[in-house]
Amino acid sequence: MTQTVTLEDVKKHNTRDSVWFVIHNKVYDVTNFMDEHPGGEEVLLEQAGKNASEIFEDVSHSADAKDLMKKYLVGELPEHERVVEPVKQSTVKVERKHFDDKEHSLSLTWTQWAITIAISTTVGLMIRQWLG
């Protein structure tokens, strides 16, 4: 059974010695992860004692990162403190264009997405190897 942790309890853990925050109504104690976090401890300290769901999603963490979170799970918010989070819609629009179309678009093609993902993955692996 998962322990219930109130927002008031989470707010008490906002120092370098004890860093807790909420992500999607679950409470995590990342105190022992501070030195390992690829983004640096400052990023975690900024969110200590708060609901970090939005910033966590904005960073687009990997599946490995999300799996690692299980290790730091302390509990869940009580039902009356939970936040119903809206499902985000993608703002990138992929369009088919003809070669003679002079209209410019900020949307990415599938090739551009593939290149972006390949570069991001390579950089992520290089950082992981370096921090190894």
Distance of alpha carbon 125 from alpha carbon 2, whole angstroms: 33
Q: Looking at domain 7-81, which CATH architecture does it have?
A: Roll (3.10)
Quote the distance between the C-alpha of residue 70 and its chain's center. Answer: 14
Strands, E assignment, the chain? 14-15, 18-23, 26-29, 73-76
For the chain, which residues make up each domain, given as ranges?
7-81, 90-132
What is the structure's pLDDT at 71? Answer: 95
Of the chain, the end-to-end C-alpha distance in Å amounts to 34
What's the pLDDT score for residue 47?
94
pLDDT value of position 112: 80
CA distance 65 to 68: 5
pLDDT of residue 106: 53
Provide the 3-class DSSP secondary structure of residue 104: coil
All residue ranges of the chain with pLDDT < 50 are 94, 99, 101-102, 104
Helix (H, G, I), strand (E, B) or coil at 82: coil
**Per-residue pLDDT at 12:** 97
Q: How far is CA 88 from the centre of its chain?
A: 14
